[in-house]
Amino acid sequence: MTRLTLQNCRIRIGTSGYSYPEWIDAGVYPPGTRAADMLSVYARLFSATELNYTWYQMPRAAAIDRMRQKVPADFGFAAKLTRTLTHEIKAAQWQDEAARYRDGMAPLVQSGQLLAVLMQFPPGFDRSRDHRVYLAALLDALAGLPLAVEFRNASWAVGPVFDELKNRHVTLAAVDAPELPGLFPPLSVVTCPDRFYIRFHGRNARGWRSGNMQKQFDYNYTEPELTEWIDQRILKMAGQTKNGVIFFNNHVRGQAVGNATRLAAMLAGSSTG
């Protein structure tokens, strides 16, 4: 059960991305599963997914609508903001890019299946004045969408940032990642009454800055590690929000699937319905 209610908070659990050929060998998908069919199979296992491809390329409404038609009507999508708005920012065109992104996500907005738009910023995006000004302008440009912000630079982990996100009803994404200098820490700060957002990246410190995603996200969470998150953060966050989404990004060898399924079972034991 990857959709449950905890302290009157409706929670969905899934993985970051679903189209991984290696998941066939890992037993997640049946042998011979085509890439075009993976979402339909995935939707039998989980109630939501986080779209990775929208980070690499601008979403197009027609393609998003075709994806939507492959899943049940109550299936939910979170989607990464395109990298041209978070990592490869061009001052002359970012506003046009923001408008294009909004247009591309329109089918999910109209169907009520858009859970969140994840604005994931790189480690080099620190809390400088220029970055603060840009972030404020970007939040204005995307206002009305269910926004969540993931920082990977510890300089953003301060009260004024949390207060501003609260004023805007923008979700601060909580992250689990290796304990490395300068990385944003794992927090249970809730900045939006409508949703919390948690991403489990794994704790592979040796591979984190390798530049190789197969090394960076190669990690398998233990039950004590998941229990720690439940006891110290998830229960607390669920008590302050109406909805929550939790995604596992440790996709190597299908480990995200096993961890997401296990966490869902553990939370179901605390579920109120």
Rounded Cα distance, 211 and 231, in Å: 33
CB atoms within 10 A of CB 32: 7
The answer to whether residue 67 is domain-embedded is yes
Q: Is pTM beyond 0.75 here? A: yes
The answer to whether residue 118 is domain-embedded is yes
The answer to whether residue 144 is domain-embedded is yes
The residue count for the chain: 273
Number of domains, the chain: 1
Beta partners for 248?
A: 15, 200
Please report which helix (H) or strand (E) contains residue 49, including its range: strand 48-51
Whether residue 20 contacts residue 250, with contact meaning beta carbons closer than 8 Å, is answered with no
pLDDT at 272 over 60: no
| Phi, psi (rounded to 5 degrees) for 18 | -145, -15
The answer to whether residue 78 is domain-embedded is yes
- CATH number for 164: 3.20.20.410
Beta partners for 12?
A: 3, 245
The answer to whether residue 273 is domain-embedded is no
pLDDT at 271 over 80: no
Rounded Cα distance, 133 and 116, in Å: 22
pLDDT digit string, tens, across residues 200-223: 999 998 878 877 778 788 999 999
Torsion angle of the four alpha carbons 185, 87, 250, 222, in this order, in degrees rounded to the nearest 10 = 0
The answer to whether residue 262 is domain-embedded is yes
- Provide the percentage of residues in the chain whose pLDDT is more than 90: 90
Task: Characterize 161-171 residue by residue with b for buried, 16 or more Cβ atoms within 10 angstroms of its Cβ, and e for exposed.
Answer: bbeebbebebb
The answer to whether residue 187 is domain-embedded is yes
pLDDT digit string, tens, across residues 15-53: 999 999 999 999 999 999 999 999 999 999 999 999 999
Q: DSSP code of 244?
A: E
Domain containing residue 15: 3-268
pLDDT at 273 over 80: no
Give the model's confidence band at 1: pLDDT under 50 very low, under 70 low, under 90 confident, else very high: low
Give the β-pairing of 9-16 and 3-6: antiparallel
> Given its phi and psi angles, is residue 46 left (phi above 0), alpha (psi -120 to 50 degrees) or beta?
beta
